[in-house]
Each structure stands twice: as structure tokens, then as C-alpha cells.
Chain A
């Protein structure tokens, strides 16, 4: 199974149509995510990991690295198995 980081990067690259995604990338400033892109990304992460995220907390996440940490925590809280 791919790691959380790999899965987050793959979804981000596919959604935002970028070739390379780095942990320090800011979704908005570096990757060009707009308002609707952000909520689509959150929805895609929820579907990918089978989790439900708090809307305000999820949309407050700024960077790919923080998203990896945030999703990892939510998976643990919600008892979802992941590869770290």
C-alpha cells in the first residue's frame, strides 16, 4: 500500500494538474488551488482514505506536508488503516 504522503501527492498532482508536488508546497500560492479546488481536494482525500474531515480545520491546512499530517491524524482518530 502506498504511504499517506504518496497518496496525497498523487491526488494533488492529478487534481491541480501539476507534475511535481513537494511537501513544502502551499496549495494556493505554489500549486494554484482556487476556492473550489480546495474543497474538491478535501472531498477527494475523504474518498481516498474513507474518512470525514472537519470542514474548517481541513480548509485551514496550507501545505501538502500539513495535509499529510492532518490526514494521518484523522485516519488514526477514525480507525482507518494507513501506511506511514
Chain B
């Protein structure tokens, strides 16, 4: 690496530069990309224009009812219909959440599908998910679906160890028979390349996709095969320079540019076994996949899938606008999931109960002066979740004052200053110093004390609140 050492001169300022063009606060921070990115593929540099993502028709798809349900007890029909309704709200009029997929095997599966479609939402479009078995297309056809996913596993772990094919050729022939059956049934096949990040890319995946592309040339565009890249075990790696089969950039390049699968027929489906799931999905967008497949709150097989809400905020950050997305519905969905007994970790981004709660007094002091200091964006405006402080021995008077003002809903000059909250702050400190408490003080306990120490405020702001 050549030497690039140089001196850097201080740009003195008397006024802060808050970089508001990148951190607008009323939106998630923008991700502005300078291109081109270069990846060496087969020894040659290949350029990728990341900046184009702002104008590309990238979208989100959902598998909450399929992969999401593989990780938990089944939802009831009512629950799925309600979730579907809220998914539609999140995606907004532009259908940013474009599709969601359903099992089709049981009476409940089919009833759910019918009731979701009866809501009349254009998006998410309902698609199916079936085994790569010819007879299963009858289910898709009967359900009146235009598209279905089908398992076309492609690592030798699956081909030989699981599915017991005698050769790769036999495997491909079998898959292609099912794809033909889909075409004949007038259903668009979405071929799920299971375990692709552990497959022989040059020796199996690309020849198979070449054949799918050839077959697709024989049918109308709306039936042409889509390709879902399934990182079944979370082995995918986003870094430039990573090798196949784990390299997401190289995988997408090979399919997109060598096999000629258009971006709008390429989808990424990840798993979180190595904590890479969200970034891997976003990486797929940048390198040429138009669709990232997600589940609500990342619920999914084992460690889960790309979280839909994470993809939503990534989308807004890349586009620089909400594009009709209703982010408030994310909070409603999280509340709903909790209400039906599905736990969301407290510190889970965007929706956990404590995702924007600070416990340190020094942070609470920052929040009190300007909430932007310790809040990622205007979480009250976008998620109906103003920043909060949890009260412990580390909260200090700033933390207690912040909690109290949020509790009474006081803003600006109406806020109660630190001096006026000294009795409550003393009570908090004594819980630890005198009573030897070791736990966080709950909101319920604080509310009792707020009523005791601030009866006037209670009367004015809380007495009539049901």
C-alpha cells in the first residue's frame, strides 16, 4: 500500500455543523454512496454503480408467514390476516413491501390466503410456497396465485445428502421438469436456490440458471423464472474480495451479468447465523438484486431472516425519502406481536421496548439538552416512540428529569427543570444508597412517586387520562 500520510488542518468553527444533509433527524440518516465500487471477479476488475440504487426499483418481499412461522408456533388465521393488513400499511401505496408468501397445504393455509386477498390490498401480492413436486402446482392453480416459490436446492449437501439424487444432472432434470409444470400451469416459478452459499457455483448453479433462462425464453415474460438466492445457513459474506460460493457480490454478478437474470427477477433470502443477515440483504440490493426477502422482526428458522423493519429503514436511508412507507405501522405490529405472546428482545432495534432508552445519566443529560445527541432519528415522529430514560442509580438528576417530563408530556419551556425534581431524584438515589436496591425502577413505581411529589402536574396532565 502506498504512503498517503498528510497533515490535516483544523476547520475551526463557532457554530456547530450538524451534518443535517446526512442526518436530517426527521428521517433515518441517509446512506449516500459514492461510486463506483470495484470487485475483482475471475481476476478482472468489475465496477458496480452503488449510487444507482437511489433510482433502481429495489423492493422488499416478506416471508413472515412461511419462514417466519417455521420458527414458532403457528399463527391463527385471524392473526395472519391482521399482520397482512399491517404489512400492507407499512409498504404504503407504492407497494414497497411487494410480495408475501403462503403455505398452501392445509385448510387453514388456504382460508388465510383467501381472507388476506379479500382485504383487497394490491400489495403485498400473495404468492405461494411449495415443494418441487409437480402435483403441488394444482394447489397453486386452485388458489389462483400467479407466482410460487419452489425448492431447488443446489449445494451437494442437499442434492446428495438430503435429496439423494444420484447425480447433479438427474437433480437439474428433476427441477426443470417441475419448472416446466409451472409454465404449463400458467404459474410463474420462483426457484429458491437453497444453500447457494455452500454450492458449486460454476459446476452446478450457473449451468442450472442458464437452463432456467433458456426455458424462460420460451414463455411469456410474466411467467419467466425468478431466482431467489437462499443463504440457507447464513454463510454469505458481503466483503469485496471474498471468494465464491460465500461472496454475495460475486454470486449476484454471475447470475445477473453472466447468466443474464435481470435484477427484477433476482431476490436475496438470508439467515442470521453469523450476525450478517441485514447487511447481507442490503449488499444484495447494492450489487444488483432488486428484491430482499425479509420477515417481521427477523423471526425465522433458527437465528432468523433479514428483519423487515430493518430493510424498511435501510430502504428509506438509501432512497432519502419515505416513498409512502408508513413507519408507524411497524410499532403497531410490534405491539401486536407482543400482545399475542411473541417476545421481542428489549434492546431489539426500532421496536424493542428499550431500543431508544438510555440508562446513563450523562446520556440523559444530553437528551435533555438536545434529543438528537442520543436518539438515532425522530423516533417519536417515525415510530411513535420518543426517546426515554430508564431509571437506575446511574440515571442522575438529568435522567429523572427527562423521565418525568416525558411522562407528563412536557416540552420546551413547560418542562420541569432539574431543581424542581429534587425530591424524586433523592427518592431514586435512596433506593440504591439506603435501600440497597439492585434492580431498575419500574415506570409504575415512578408514576406513584410522580403523583405524590407533583400533584399539580398530575392533576393537570394525568388525572383525566384513561
Contacts and interface: CB of A to CB of B under 8 A. Distances in A.
Q: How large is the interface on B (under 10, 10 to 19, 20 to 34, 35 or more residues)?
A: 10 to 19
B419 A36 contact: no
B254 to A, nearest CB: 59
Interface stretch (B156-164, B197-205, B421-429): B421-429
B433 to A, nearest CB: 9
A83 interface: no
Would you call the interface of chain B mostly helix, strand, loop, or mixed? helix
Nearest to B418: A39
Query: Which of A35, A36, A55 has most chain B Cβ within 10 Å?
Result: A36
Nearest to A44: B422
A57 to B, nearest CB: 11
A36 B429 contact: yes
Contacts of B429: 34, 36
Interface size class of A (residues with CB under 8 A): 10 to 19
B419 A35 contact: no
Interface in B341-388: 361
B189 interface: no
Contact of A58 (B396, B419, B420, B421): B419
Contacts of A58: 419
Contacts of A39: 397, 418-419, 421-422, 425
Interface of B: 361, 396-398, 417-422, 425-426, 428-429
Interface of A: 34-36, 38-40, 42-43, 46, 53, 55, 58-59
Given A36-B428, A46-B419, A55-B417, 20 more contacts: A34-B429, A35-B396, A35-B397, A35-B425, A36-B397, A36-B422, A36-B426, A36-B429, A39-B419, A39-B421, A39-B422, A40-B425, A40-B426, A42-B419, A42-B422, A43-B419, A43-B420, A43-B422, A55-B418, A59-B418
